[in-house]
Amino acid sequence: MSPSTPRPGSSGTLITVAPTGAEHSKADVPNLPVTLEELVRTARDCERVGAAMIHIHVRDDDARPTLDLGRLKETVAAVRENTRLIVQLSTGGAVTDPESARLGVLDAMPDSASCTMGTVNFGDDVFLNRWEFVVALHKGMQERGIVPEYEIFDLGQLTALRRLIDEHGLPAGGHVHLDLVMGVPGGMPGDTETLAAALRLVPDGATFSATGVGRTSLPVLLASLSAGGHVRVGMEDTLSYARGERVRDNAQLVARAAGLAKIAQRPPVGPEESRVLLGVAS
């Protein structure tokens, strides 16, 4: 199977919403969902307009990023109770989070978790992902039956992904799914040429989605749809809806992605079909 071919049984588009992230402050972005109540409302709204998976970063009472296990467990439970969305927790956290806390995220037992495939400059910071740490995340997910989404910030990280699978086997669920995170200052650019270059390196049989950070959001979305890929949108990645227009809420971004997916004749797939696609247990 060529990497750009949708998996059998699904020619539709899996839309993931990344509503919060770890980088924006509530003070600067008052409509960022940071409390559990705001997150659950966001999850419901986004499911209604076409999201099938949610990529979650949790905040503390002061709206600062946290990897507190109790909060993570509470969040997983609340989103499961209120939606059918596939619940993906970030193991990326914030650039300041230690490896132990990032590994500890897996004990919250989400359906899926992110696994970044290498170190990347991240604006003025460094997002550190040593090989041994990546392997520990991969194995930790295999042991717990958590389905990874491999986050790819630069092309060499696709080579690392191939090495990971060769040396340590397929992930839980038996299927490889990755997300090209494009347009991070320090990572690969968010444009069609780079997406096409990345596809040559996607492992056979894998599915991919793509995320364009900042102003690359729309070009990457359109390029991914046209290449048979899935998409991730949300306020973690972009705060502007159009030139000079701030995002109203996450559902606005999901609704736009769903509309474009329909126009591309690859309509959004629901959470149940997406579970089959990714190998996530129902």
Q: Which is nearer to ligand KMH, 112 or 194 (CB)?
A: 112
CB of 114 to ligand KMH, least distance (A): 3
Report the C-alpha gap between 63 and 33 in whole angstroms: 9
Phi, psi of 33 (to 5 degrees): -75, 115
CB of 118 to Zn ion, least distance (A): 15
90 lies in the site for Zn ion, by CB under 5 A: yes
Q: Which one of 62-70, 88-96, 239-247, 270-278 is the stretch in contact with Zn ion (CB under 5 A)?
A: 88-96
Phi, psi of 227 (to 5 degrees): -95, 5
Cβ–Cβ < 8 Å for 214, 184: no
Q: Which one of 90-98, 137-145, 205-213, 274-282 is the stretch in contact with Zn ion (CB under 5 A)?
A: 90-98
The residue nearest ligand KMH at its CB is 92
CB of 38 to ligand KMH, least distance (A): 18
Interacting residues of 79 by C-beta distance below 8 A, sequence separation 6+: 39, 40, 43, 54, 56, 85, 87
Q: Which is nearer to ligand KMH, 92 or 219 (CB)?
A: 92
Q: Give the footprint of ligand KMH on this chain (CB under 6 A).
A: 21-23, 90-92, 94-95, 114, 116, 122, 127, 151
Q: Which is nearer to ligand KMH, 91 or 250 (CB)?
A: 91
- Among Zn ion, ligand KMH, none, what binds residue 151 when CB lies within 5 to 8 Å by partner kind? ligand KMH
For 121, half-sphere exposure in the C-beta direction (CA atoms, 13 angstrom radius) is 7
SS3 of 59-102:
ECCCCCEECCHHHHHHHHHHHHHHCCCEEEECCCCCCCCCHHHH
Q: Which is nearer to ligand KMH, 21 or 173 (CB)?
A: 21
Report the C-alpha gap between 135 and 125 in whole angstroms: 23
CB of 101 to ligand KMH, least distance (A): 13
CB of 18 to ligand KMH, least distance (A): 8
**What's the Cα-to-Cα distance from 159 to each of 132, 155, 203, 280, rounded to whole Å?**
15, 7, 9, 25
157 lies in the site for Zn ion, by CB under 5 A: no
Interacting residues of 156 by C-beta distance below 8 A, sequence separation 6+: 118
CB of 236 to Zn ion, least distance (A): 5
Q: Which is nearer to ligand KMH, 58 or 258 (CB)?
A: 58
**Cα dihedral sign for 101, 107, 109, 113?**
positive
The residue nearest Zn ion at its CB is 90
The site for Zn ion (CB under 5 A) is made up of 90
